[in-house]
Structure 1
């Protein structure tokens, strides 16, 4: 029995060592660079790219898929892409458009927004001096979305996220609750 016991202990240690190697992925670069100093200079940060400043959506007509909206970094009106990023080499990615971006249909806008002309009774955001002749992605007031001026988003989306989380958690717990109820049924 003594040799078998020693073999089992040795085998378990070997197995444990193998698991550690797989989990932590010892690589040859980690072994060769241990103890060396980093002689490479830190990467230089490129210039911060900003969109062109504007006053109206017409100022941005030269750059396709841009709208004159508030820059989230410095709150100046700039020609930005639908995701509020500056155009890269004059091009914007094909993404859903955020709040107050020019649009043609509801399919252009993010969830919780509709593509419509801005009514004259709305005085939030930058609408006071923007043209009402352009369709914009605006918060879907009919479905409970309200413009949050401070964060420049449509509020109400947080409620949808909470509902989705609740549904996900409920679906994960449902089998457990069902099994508990079934076991209690057998007891009584």
Structure 2
């Protein structure tokens, strides 16, 4: 019983509390906004800009850097820029292109995608534009990326983000775990 008593007196509970504060943070915004009135006028409603509806990539040839892809908001096929946004004043920013956008090389496409001619032996989904004349940004099947039809993305694209999150949490926890281990070892 004596070593356990020393362990709790040495501040391991304080250290554990410190870990929770670091991991979950303390938000002071709730304390500073209590009782304040909102003096800002309500935001004005801006019209929602949508791309022109289309049936094929050729329908979008008049607007540079657009492709006929499914709009993520209403799921209709529209002439959209590479980041699935509608062109502003007929222009698109120079961005990496998403799934099923027209491309010239792999450098035009987002990570996990390759620029290639679409073929009929895709394993998942049915394409609206089966054509050997137009190169599209498609999932890199050779490296394990598979098309997710529901979300219009390539699966596996979020894996690097999860690895970074776990690495960050592990690197935060390592010093505290090591310190607690050394304290326990010292007292036993």
1:150 to partner: Cα distance = 1.0
RCO greater where, 1 or 2, for CA within 8 Å and sep 6 or more? 2
Q: CA RMSD in A?
A: 2.9
Runs (5+) with no aligned partner, structure 2: 1-30
Structure whose CA Rg is larger:
1
Partner residue of 2:12?
A: none
TM-score (normalizing by structure 2): 0.70
1:123 to partner: Cα distance = 7.2
* Other structure's SS at 1:68 match: strand
Aligned: 1:147 with 2:124 = no
The whole-number CA distance in structure 2 between the counterparts of 1:174 and 1:151 is 36
1:104 to partner: Cα distance = 1.6
Partner residue of 1:170?
A: 170
> For the Cα contact (< 8 Å) 2:118–2:130, is it kept in 1?
no
Partner residue of 1:68?
A: 68
Residues 115/154 of structure 1: CA separation in 2 closer, same or farther (3 Å cut): same
The whole-number CA distance in structure 2 between the counterparts of 1:128 and 1:48 is 26
TM-score (normalizing by structure 1): 0.70
Runs (5+) with no aligned partner, structure 1: 1-22
List 4+ stretches of structure 1 deviating above 6 A.
none
Residues 43/179 of structure 1: CA separation in 2 closer, same or farther (3 Å cut): closer
> For the Cα contact (< 8 Å) 1:56–1:130, is it kept in 2?
no
Aligned: 1:89 with 2:94 = no
The whole-number CA distance in structure 2 between the counterparts of 1:99 and 1:130 is 14
1:158 to partner: Cα distance = 3.2
Number of paired residues?
Answer: 157
